[in-house]
Structure 1
């Protein structure tokens, strides 16, 4: 009986390790795929799940690539681009990460989420899709009655 219990714990440990989901991702600029928009690591087991972010500072001209940190209210600075939070959900073999980026407001010291993106990571098939939520909204009905959702591939390589 003791051997069976030990064997079950060992197999359970291997199964859990096999299910750990980690990847390294690259997202190209939607207008010029030769330029980087963002690169990062995905770790399904560790908050904020999106780590080591290097991307284009939305407010910089010309585009400047910077390391983007998770916002810490105690150490926040104005005119600095932050990842404010990540919402993660799971749909069968797919993990969905909704990322909120912005700058700190001086009056409240909270992040003003100005750019929101969603990464759809299909772990089973090794594919990923990137949704720029700013492209979804049809301000003042300029384009058409119903906006077109724009999703393009993200290049992700599994690390587990």
Structure 2
């Protein structure tokens, strides 16, 4: 497994550190999204407790900008291929070796495969955080106080910052 992961990045690149930092960024992003949602969910529950006939906003409005850290992580991952390409120009200039290889696509595979994997993991973690918060929305808020269409506007949630 380690050799397969190492082949996704340029030779000499600290790919273990890249994957560790990427995993840490995903964990932090997921925690920020969930705790952000729980904070606003708690405010709504407190309002329901003190005001009779309180209003529970739809999920998309309550979730708000919960995916902001995921967007920052995705932006960093999108910029990573530039650094991987520039890595080939450092030190022994392995760019010349990469250009002479029989498979011309090897340079671009090593520059794009690792970031593509990290980007897919970022999108997957963002989707899982939204699904988890949807389950929390159903579980934590009283069913009789939910709006008529609690999932209104959920399609635009990925566009929010």
TM-score range, shorter chain: under 0.3
Tell me: higher relative CO, structure 1 or 2? Use CA pairs within 8 A at least 6 residues apart.
2
TM-score (ref. length: structure 1) = 0.27
Task: Identify, as 1 or 2, the structure richer in helix.
Answer: 2
Q: TM-score normalised to the size of structure 2? A: 0.27
